[in-house]
A and B are shown apart, each in its own frame.
Chain A
Amino acid sequence: MSLSPAAQLMSPPVPWLRELKADERGLCLIHLLLNCANHVAAGQLEHANAFLENISLLAAPDGDTMQRIATHFTEALARRVLRSWPGLYRALHPPTVPRLPPDALLARRHFFDLCPFVRLAFLVSNQAILEAMEGERVVHVVDLGGAASDAAQWAALLQALRVRPEGPPHLRLTVVHEHKEFLDLTATRLTEEAERLDVPFQFHPIVARLDNLDVEMLRIKTGEAVAISSVLQLHTLLAADDLAAVGGHQRKTAPPLAKNPSTTQLHRIVQMNHQGTLGEMLEKDHANGHSPSQDSASSSSLALTPSPKTECFLASLWGLSPKVMVVTEQESNHNGPKLTERFMEALNFYAALFDCLESTAPRMSVERARIEKMLFGEEIKNIIACEGGERRERHEKLEKWVQRLELAGFLRVPLSYLAMLQARRLLQSYGCEGYKVREEDGCFFFCWQDRPLFSVSAWGFRRF
């Protein structure tokens, strides 16, 4: 098939593409994006290319919401296409040692400031921890993954503990994060805060990624009341399972838990790159082999894909007998095996998030652009372009997490009315009516309009 028709294509559509109204353009973009994703999934790169060309005429990183969304999704799609030529891809994106881009941290900070979701998660998590720790003298809080890279949650907890009626407990805080500089920063800040508040405080940094974490490293002592908090982190565990599942028969050695993160990290990356392309190839075959009718019977069942490593890790967390574990996760299924499914889900999910920003920040806002690019954009890229162990943004809905956590032995602890009250008040103070908190079976959903975007659930070692 020659590319010439695609080239011809460029001339006629330009005039009318340009003069579309915003809504028409939005619909057109959705249409183009979906088609493009379909072609990418089917491996028809010429078609995908033609679509990408057209989208590029309409998309704009600083335009309206749909244009912005399209920008990031096309980038993700393009990246995915590029990955089918690993040589090209690596030349353009050489594997670097993962470091903490300051922009990403800033983006998270802006997201925290502009949208209430993270703040809500912190608030509700802290309230659950506080309630579970009532009367405890020695409290050990484990933060899996740096609380979405923000020390604010723990500063808040310190203050809350200080004023609790029975007096502040001795607080030990263990933070797991893959970047040492972040941990150092957090340590300084929290130690200062604790000193100021006169709360006995100990800080344990653990430089590791969640999928590398051995619970032994948490150094839980007998007699302390353990609380575990995970804000938007648990889903990264699922990548390890996929890695094992896809590459299990390919790899000769699979060190399950790296004892020395720093040296194994590079090793892992190389492996993951390899696995990524492999997984992609597999998926491509998969997509090609499917007839449309089979395709329509999409695998949207509730059945849990086996995830031995995740289960194992959750079970070991349970083994710490925490009084409470609070889990915040994205309420969307971005872990489908098919690209098209993920694309669709992600498009809906991030459209809502982009809408949040549209309602909160002006279009030219630098902060907004940074959130969209460094936070959402990166996540979208990860969801769409990556495969295998590299695909870490494997958001799954609460229903799946409920199954997993119950399998691991946890029991659901309903979040308190007080937590809801506080969440509502927080939202009220935002003054934007689009945000909502919904309660379902003792779990909270943070919604934009009626679409739940994040879920918070609390889990206990035993029923309270």
Chain B
Amino acid sequence: MASASSTEPFFGIREEDHRNQMKQQQPASMPTSSSAAAPQTAAPVKKKRNLPGNPNPDAEVIALSPKALLATNRFICEVCNKGFQREQNLQLHRRGHNLPWKLRQKSTKEVRRRVYVCPETTCVHHDPSRALGDLTGIKKHFCRKHGEKKWKCDKCSKKYAVQSDWKAHSKTCGTREYRCDCGTLFSRRDSFITHRAFCDALAQESARIPTGLSTIGSHLYGNSSMALGLSQVNSQITSSLQVQSHQSSNNILRLGGGSGSGSHFEHLISSSNPSPFRPPQPLPSSAFFLGGASNQDFNEETQSHHSLLQNKPFHGLMQLPDLQSRATASSSTAAAANLFNLGFFSNSSSTSSISTSNITSNQNNHLLISDPFSSGNGSTESTTLFSGNFMSDHMAAGMSPLLNTSMRNESSLPQMSATALLQKAAQMGSTTSGGSSLLQGFSSASPSGSRSTSFQAIFNGGSNGSGDALRFQMENETRLQDLMNSLANGNAGLFGGSGGVAAFAGSCTTGGHEQQAGGIGGFNSGLCNMDEAKFQHNISPGNLGGSDGLTRDFLGVGNMVRSMGGGLSQRGRHHGIDISSMDHEMKSATSSQSFDGGTLQ
């Protein structure tokens, strides 16, 4: 019975107050127990104290004023002003001052018994027939029932009007142990009684509610507590998006332009400490991971990276077939795919060792490394190598942790809770939209205006920088285009399931051609772009301004493309890059697909 159970605690806890005469005044149907044992379970009376308020009829009835009753020390020593409650004590004290003293002798003759009534008119003890037999009794009664409870237990906040009650309680409060049948231990009786009430209720209820759910709950808890960390990060991200996007633009600038130091890059890859890149990192996946990890210490982070390594074969299994099938589909991208693949693996292994050239070197080194390749195999490969590195960097920094976490999740519980999903989604949304609402970035009805967001603008800046830097390395425009193209493809693939990197892709495109970037940027702002492209294009064909036909075409070819990849490959066309744009599309399509698989596992 739910209602009954919820009141039990009151009953139980109040009971301790009951150990006074008042209680004995209850009608016979409510018998008293001399101990303070749990009244619900206690058997009716074991032993009867002589009931107070049943005085000798011929006793002298004394009514004291409340003041007299509350006065603690009525007998004052004239020498030291020390007060005493009893005259006898004062007399003994006077002896110490060498004052005349006199103890009253026990009179042999029969004294008339005195009884005391309570001055409170509403009180049962106000009636002389219910008077109490001794002065201390009436004093305590008056204090307890009608006085202020000024003695408070520090441990359990229980208040007492009589100091001695409080002292007695303080001695036992928290010392005794109570054990419920369910095995729970309690240090305080009131807690125990409260618990008992609900424990019984639970026993009744559990008959209706299937068992074993609590374990699921704890699993869920384990999961979402991690997600909770996320939400903090997320709120940070959302609240100060301006700042963060600025930061991330800086990072991108360094990354792309190669101006970033090696150590900075190391941060990106190793994630060994909260790198400057991490908080603003627009990847939902990485942010997702971050949320969990950023609150933890270093050890845990490295641990998770270890588990990332353990997961690595799994990546390989997942991705290699895809990449190889693509290799057969288009020979020109085969090398790229392989290289990309290599890059990925080398970097993810380097996550543990942090010693390969990729990591210790900065972006320039990357490009230098890629040069031999490019001389041997052509420009596309060099760029794809770069893209491979680029991607794998992100993989190591952001994506793989997601994989890692999500895999952990899968091993421990069937799926994420709705709360966790929302948080994850919010993380994604925060990268593109800004503001507190996920929705705001998605006003995709008018993508032409989407460039107005500061985020996009900052990305433009960042990517311009990277463009310049790349130009510095690259000898001709085509290479740049290729590089960017592959970057875009890589990004698109990488972020097949995430909006954040779409912004990256957007930035790459804006570096080259800001004209189109507007449209694409808006397009990129999707949260979970599995279908964004499709929706955009299918629902509002005019919205993307001229890219519609291409997209459709692309959709026709790629068919399985779910992401920006499509949109970005258009950019490739706009740029007039002719390196088998179809292949590019295919590549982006397939790679995005494979990464989709990877990211969303």
Contacts and interface: CB of A to CB of B under 8 A. Distances in A.
B11 to A, nearest CB: 5
Interface in A415-430: 416-418, 421-422, 425-426, 428-430
A64 B209 contact: no
Interface of B: 2-4, 6-11, 13-15, 17-18, 22-23, 122, 145, 156-158, 184, 190-191, 194-195, 198-199, 201-202, 205, 208-210, 213-214, 216-218, 220-221, 224-225, 228, 231, 406, 409, 414-419, 421-422, 424-425, 428-429, 433-440, 442-446, 449-450, 452-453, 497, 526-528, 530-532, 534-535, 537-542, 555, 559-560, 562, 600-601
Contacts of B18: 165
A355 B440 CA distance: 26
B114 to A, nearest CB: 26
Q: Which 7 A-B pairs have the closest CB atoms?
A: A296-B435, A429-B198, A160-B10, A159-B7, A155-B3, A359-B217, A351-B418
Interface string A338-362: 0011011001100110110011111
Nearest to A134: B149
A126 B422 contact: no
A293 interface: yes
Nearest to A10: B538
Contact of B415 (A16, A22, A37, A431): A22
Given A22-B416, A38-B443, A165-B23, 6 more contacts: A9-B539, A23-B415, A27-B528, A66-B421, A295-B435, A340-B437
B445 A152 contact: no
A31 B425 contact: yes
A143 to B, nearest CB: 14
Given A35-B442, A160-B7, A166 B145 contact: yes
A449 B225 contact: yes
A296 B449 CA distance: 14
Interface hub of B191, B228, B535, B555 (most chain A Cβ within 10 A): B535
B443 A292 contact: yes
Contacts of A5: 537-541
Nearest to B20: A165
Contacts of B201: 429
Contacts of B538: 5-6, 8-9, 50
Given A50-B539, A292-B440, A156 B531 contact: no
13 contacts: A31-B526, A50-B539, A69-B418, A151-B3, A153-B3, A156-B6, A166-B22, A341-B437, A344-B437, A351-B418, A355-B220, A429-B198, A432-B218
Nearest to B599: A24
Contacts of B600: 21, 23-24, 27
Per DSSP, chain B at the interface is helix
Interface hub of B190, B417, B528, B542 (most chain A Cβ within 10 A): B417
A32 B539 CA distance: 13
Given A16-B562, A433-B221, A449 B439 contact: no
Contact of B2 (A6, A113, A164, A430): A113
Interface stretch (A41-49, A212-220, A226-234, A274-282): A41-49
B14 A163 contact: yes
Given A5-B538, A157-B7, A165-B18, A354 B418 contact: yes
A18 to B, nearest CB: 13
Contacts of B446: 292
Contact of B213 (A112, A354, A360): A360
A126 B10 contact: yes
Contacts of B437: 295-296, 298, 340-341, 344
Contacts of B439: 34, 37-38, 41, 340, 343-344
A28 interface: yes
B156 A417 contact: yes
B11 A449 contact: no
A396 to B, nearest CB: 16
Contacts of A344: 437-439
B459 to A, nearest CB: 16
A165 B218 CA distance: 40
A320 to B, nearest CB: 24
Interface of A: 1, 5-6, 8-9, 12-13, 16-17, 21-24, 26-28, 30-32, 34-35, 37-39, 41-42, 44, 46-47, 50-51, 54, 64-66, 69, 112-114, 119, 122-123, 126-127, 130, 137, 151-153, 155-160, 163-166, 291-293, 295-298, 300, 340-341, 343-344, 347-348, 351-352, 354-355, 358-362, 416-418, 421-422, 425-426, 428-434, 448-451
A156 B527 contact: no
Interface hub of A127, A163, A166 (most chain B Cβ within 10 A): A163
B198 A425 contact: yes
A34 B438 contact: yes
B153 to A, nearest CB: 10
Contact of B416 (A23, A35, A119): A23
B422 A351 contact: yes
A112 B539 CA distance: 44
B217 A434 contact: yes
Given A159-B4, A355-B417, A340 B202 contact: no
Contact of A351 (B419, B436, B528): B419
Contact of B205 (A113, A123, A295): A113
B419 A449 contact: yes
A448 B213 CA distance: 16
Given A9-B538, A160-B11, A347-B422, A421 B191 contact: yes
B540 A163 contact: no
Given A47-B445, A66-B421, A417-B157, A428 B195 contact: yes
Contacts of A361: 209-210, 213
A165 B9 contact: no
Contacts of A51: 535
Nearest to A451: B419
B424 A27 contact: yes
Nearest to B219: A359
Contacts of A451: 228, 419
Interface hub of B122, B205, B214, B439 (most chain A Cβ within 10 A): B439
B269 to A, nearest CB: 26
Given A421-B194, A429-B201, A431-B202, A159 B445 contact: no
A1 B445 CA distance: 12
Nearest to A430: B202
Nearest to A31: B528
Given A38-B443, A39-B445, A359 B435 contact: no
Nearest to A123: B6
A337 to B, nearest CB: 13
Given A9-B538, A152-B2, A417-B156, A359 B213 contact: yes
B553 to A, nearest CB: 14
A37 B429 CA distance: 15
Given A113-B208, A296-B433, A296-B434, A358 B417 contact: yes
